[in-house]
């Protein structure tokens, strides 16, 4: 009898220990969870720059609702368009603006340290496809007095 | 118009230091009127911890899905002290308003303007008190780990 009691105690203790280990492990993982690897994910949408920009200029609210995530986990796009300009930001990331001549705004694509070399292959006037995560949409800003572009980050060139 | 910017946010509590960086703002500077406008895509703030980034964007905090951009709109009030044609470091008083989520607050900050090699660099530091923008935490982990105010450092190259 005493032996059985001892065994039950042992089992409870083991279960508790297992619970703490698994629970602690999950908590540790959540606390230190990695950032989303955009390039490893499947694209949610494949569109032309013209289509994405005009969707935003028609109804920004609706487009935000559709494309932006609640916790920054926004949609991943492959956007195709003409390279209008290229630059480099203060984080040494290459930026490529895809915009058609007839459009009021374009899609600004920000590359990463890992993909910067691919952006170097791109030339102005070229027609390319770029994959990235959307951070904000296009709109006319009355204070800036200009059209803001759609912003994609963590970008890479999609090879056809 | 400039797209070369760096905005750092930093908060300190006994539990944890939290910092994030954003390189994606669009800014204008009107040298004649002294007007400065900075539009900041909020989902571009990159935190070291993905979990913190999630909290930051969530509806409990900055709610960046319906409010994806923050905006600073202001004017350099001592424009006469600054010569954009002459190299040097100038102190600037910038008065304006900041819009975060749905709330707009007046702010007034000191900054420096550096004119060098044909480039104009504006740098400023400001404090954002979260409660001013109706950003309040319920009890729980983020509320104890995040300070009641954020230090914001802004650098824009024109």
What average pLDDT does this structure show over A66-71? Answer: 95
Check whether residue A66 and residue A8 sit in a common domain.
no
Check whether residue A76 and residue A98 sit in a common domain.
yes
Q: Given this structure, which CATH class describes domain B4-157?
A: mainly beta
Check whether residue A24 and residue A84 sit in a common domain.
no
What average pLDDT does this structure show over A107-132? Answer: 96
Residue of A nearest to B51 (CA): A31
DSSP element (H, E) containing A49? helix A49-58
Dihedral angle computed from the Cα positions of residues A31, B41, B21 and A114, in that order, rounded to the nearest 10 degrees: 80
In the numeric block, the tokens 């001592």 are attached to B78
The CATH number for A48's domain is 2.40.50.140
For residue A14, give its domain range: 1-33
Written as six digits, the tokens of A102 are 């007839």
What is the per-residue pLDDT for A5?
A: 77
Check whether residue A48 and residue A101 sit in a common domain.
yes
Q: Does A153 touch chain B (CB under 8 A)?
A: yes
The per-residue pLDDT for range A78-98, each reduced to its tens digit, is: 999 999 999 999 999 999 999
Q: Work out the end-to-end distance of chain A between its first and last CA atoms, rounded to an integer number of angstroms.
A: 73
Cα B98 to Cα B36: distance, rounded to the nearest angstrom = 12
Q: Which of B6, B18, B65 has the highest number of chain A CBs within 10 A, making it the mutation to test binding with A?
A: B65
Q: Which of A74, A136, A148 has the highest number of chain B CBs within 10 A, making it the mutation to test binding with B?
A: A136
- For residue A108, list chain B residues with Cβ-Cβ distance below 8 A: 3
The answer, yes or no, to whether residue A117 has pLDDT greater than 70, is yes
Check whether residue A43 and residue A61 sit in a common domain.
yes
The per-residue pLDDT for range A4-35, each reduced to its tens digit, is: 777 888 999 999 999 999 888 888 877 778 88
Distant-in-sequence, close-in-space partners of A80: CB < 8 Å, separation ≥ 6: A46, A47, A48, A49, A98, A127, A128, A129, A130
Query: Total domain count for chain A?
Result: 2
Written as six digits, the tokens of A156 are 């890479």
Check whether residue A87 and residue A12 sit in a common domain.
no
Check whether residue A25 and residue A90 sit in a common domain.
no
Cα A84 to Cα B28: distance, rounded to the nearest angstrom = 20
Check whether residue A104 and residue A43 sit in a common domain.
yes
What is the per-residue pLDDT for A133?
A: 97
Give residue limits of the domains in chain B: 4-157
Q: How many CB pairs under 8 A join A and B?
A: 97
**Could B155 and A90 be called an inter-chain contact, meaning their C-beta atoms sit closer than 8 Å?**
yes
Q: What is the pTM of this model?
A: 0.88
Check whether residue A62 and residue A106 sit in a common domain.
yes
Residue of B nearest to A142 (CA): B37
């Amino acid at each position: 009898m005493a032996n059985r009691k001892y065994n039950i105690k042992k089992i409870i203790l083991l279960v508790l220990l297992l619970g703490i280990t698994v629970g602690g492990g999950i908590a540790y993982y959540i606390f230190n969870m990695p950032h989303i690897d955009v390039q490893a994910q499947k694209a949610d949408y494949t569109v032309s720059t013209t289509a994405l920009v005009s969707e935003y200029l028609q109804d920004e609210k609706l487009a935000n609702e559709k494309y932006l995530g609640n916790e920054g986990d926004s949609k991943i796009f492959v956007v195709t368009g003409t390279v209008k300009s290229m630059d480099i930001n203060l984080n040494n990331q290459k930026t490529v603006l895809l915009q058609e001549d007839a459009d009021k705004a374009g899609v600004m694509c920000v590359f990463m340290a890992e993909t910067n070399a691919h952006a170097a292959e791109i030339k102005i006037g070229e027609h390319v496809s770029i994959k990235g995560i959307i951070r904000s949409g296009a709109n006319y800003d009355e204070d800036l007095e200009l059209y803001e572009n759609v912003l994609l980050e963590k970008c890479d060139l999609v090879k056809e | 118009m400039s797209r070369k910017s760096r905005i750092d946010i930093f908060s300190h509590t006994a539990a944890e230091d939290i910092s994030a960086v954003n390189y994606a703002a669009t800014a204008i500077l009107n040298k004649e009127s002294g007007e400065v406008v900075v539009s900041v895509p909020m989902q571009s703030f990159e935190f070291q911890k993905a979990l913190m980034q999630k909290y930051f964007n969530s509806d409990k905090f900055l709610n960046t899905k319906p409010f994806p951009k923050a905006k600073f709109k202001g004017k350099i009030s001592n424009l006469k002290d600054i010569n954009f044609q002459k190299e040097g470091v100038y102190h600037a008083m910038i008065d304006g308003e900041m819009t975060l989520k749905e709330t707009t607050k007046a702010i007034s900050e000191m900054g420096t303007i550096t004119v060098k090699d044909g480039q104009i660099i504006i740098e400023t530091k400001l404090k954002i008190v979260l409660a001013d923008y109706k950003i309040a935490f319920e009890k729980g982990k983020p509320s104890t780990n995040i300070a009641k105010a954020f230090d914001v450092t802004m650098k824009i190259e024109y």
